[in-house]
């Protein structure tokens, strides 16, 4: 190894910065300036990603709302029947349900048999749970509304010795939001306070001549307050 080569290596070993830094200094760019530039680039990139994330989140929310609206609209002509034992429908469930509505809610249907598009049982219940509800799709929305209103006005309906009830067939998301009021509604019922649900998920309470509309996010507070009413 020549004397000049050994001298060059010794100089490199005594330098307090790397070869990359030395190159930058030779070009007139200090490490501090490069570090600042990198930090600014990272900040800019983070702001850009945050903006994109916000935009994607908003679009996703809008898409979810649109899908939920479509699902809810597809169920507008559906009715959920509670209280019928499994397999009571026999081999012709659609005719069975048409006869049921014609007998139980004859006045609401002007003594005519409603036209039904289809019906089926809901998902299989867990062990020891009651029988599944029957979901019926009416051909005409007005018939479904008349039967539903009849069911609300006549709470003690029976068919072939079984107590039955009629309910709206809500989407999973709406049903979950409405279920958040269950404990509150139970307390209101026990205290004799009038209440009702407004679509999609608001509780209407009538107390001392005043009517309140309560959204889901305050139902927990209302639940605690009812203990002192």
Domain extents for the chain? Answer: 1-73, 76-169, 174-228
Residue 199's nearest CA partner among 218, 181, 186 is 181
Predicted confidence band of residue 220 (pLDDT cuts 50, 70, 90): low
Average pLDDT over residues 89-112: 94
User: How far is 42 from 38, CA to CA, in rounded Å?
Assistant: 6
Q: What is the DSSP letter of 121?
A: E
CATH number for the domain formed by residue range(s) 76-169: 3.30.70.1820
227: pLDDT strictly greater than 60? no
pLDDT computed for residue 135 by the predictor: 97
By the 8 A CB rule, do 40 and 95 touch? Answer: no
Percent of the chain with pLDDT over 70: 78
Average pLDDT over residues 139-148: 96
Residues 6+ apart with CB under 8 A from 200: 72, 170, 174, 177, 178
Residues 6+ apart with CB under 8 A from 39: none
Percent of the chain with pLDDT over 90: 55
Which has more confidence, 81 or 21? 81
Which has more confidence, 228 or 105? 105
Pairing between strand 202-207 and 134-138? unpaired
By the 8 A CB rule, do 190 and 101 touch? Answer: no
Average pLDDT over residues 104-120: 93
Establish whether domains 76-169 and 174-228 are of one fold.
no
CATH superfamily of domain region 174-228:
L1 transposable element, C-terminal domain (3.30.250.20)
Predicted confidence band of residue 34 (pLDDT cuts 50, 70, 90): confident
State pTM to two decimals.
0.70
pLDDT computed for residue 14 by the predictor: 46
DSSP count for the chain of H helices, then E strands: 8, 8
What is the DSSP annotation of the chain?
Answer: --HHHHHHHHHHHH-SS-HHHHHHHHTT--HHHHHHHHHHHHHHHHHHHHHHHHHHHHHHHHHHHHHHHHHHHHTTTEEEEE-PPTTTTTT-HHHHHHHHHHHHTTTTTTT-PPPEEEEEE-SPPPTTPPPPPEEEEESSHHHHHHHHHHHHH---EEETTEEEEEEE---HHHHHHHHTTHHHHHHHHHTT-EEEEETTTEEEEEETTEEEEEEGGGHHHHHHHGGG-
pLDDT computed for residue 140 by the predictor: 96
My answer on whether omega of the bond before 200 falls inside 30° of 0, hence cis, is: yes
217: pLDDT strictly greater than 50? yes
User: How far is 119 from 168, CA to CA, in rounded Å?
Assistant: 14
Q: Is 167 helix (H, G, I), strand (E, B) or coil?
A: strand
pLDDT computed for residue 27 by the predictor: 53
Which has more confidence, 15 or 54? 54
97: pLDDT strictly greater than 70? yes
111: pLDDT strictly greater than 60? yes
pLDDT computed for residue 155 by the predictor: 85
Average pLDDT over residues 11-15: 47
């Amino acid at each position: 190894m020549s004397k000049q080569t050994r001298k060059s290596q010794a100089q490199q070993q005594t330098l307090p910065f790397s070869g990359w830094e030395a190159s930058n200094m030779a070009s007139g760019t200090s490490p501090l300036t490069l570090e600042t530039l990198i930090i600014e680039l990272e900040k800019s990139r983070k702001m850009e990603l945050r903006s994109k994330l916000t935009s994607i989140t908003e679009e996703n929310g809008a898409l979810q709302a649109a899908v939920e609206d479509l699902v809810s609209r597809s169920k507008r002509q559906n009715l959920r029947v509670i209280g019928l034992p499994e397999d009571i429908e026999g081999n012709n469930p659609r005719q069975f349900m048409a006869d049921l509505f014609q007998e139980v809610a004859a006045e609401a249907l002007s003594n005519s048999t409603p036209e039904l598009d289809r019906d089926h049982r809901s998902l299989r219940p867990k062990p020891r749970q009651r029988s599944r509800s029957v979901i019926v799709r009416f051909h005409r929305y007005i018939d479904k509304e008349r039967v539903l209103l009849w069911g609300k006005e006549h709470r003690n309906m029976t068919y072939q010795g079984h107590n039955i009830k009629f309910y709206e067939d809500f989407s999973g998301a709406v049903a979950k939001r409405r279920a958040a009021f269950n404990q509150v509604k139970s307390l209101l019922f026990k205290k004799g306070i009038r209440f009702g649900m407004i679509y999609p998920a608001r509780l209407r309470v009538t107390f001392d001549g005043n009517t309140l509309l309560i959204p889901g996010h305050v139902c927990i507070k209302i639940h605690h307050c009812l203990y002192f009413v």
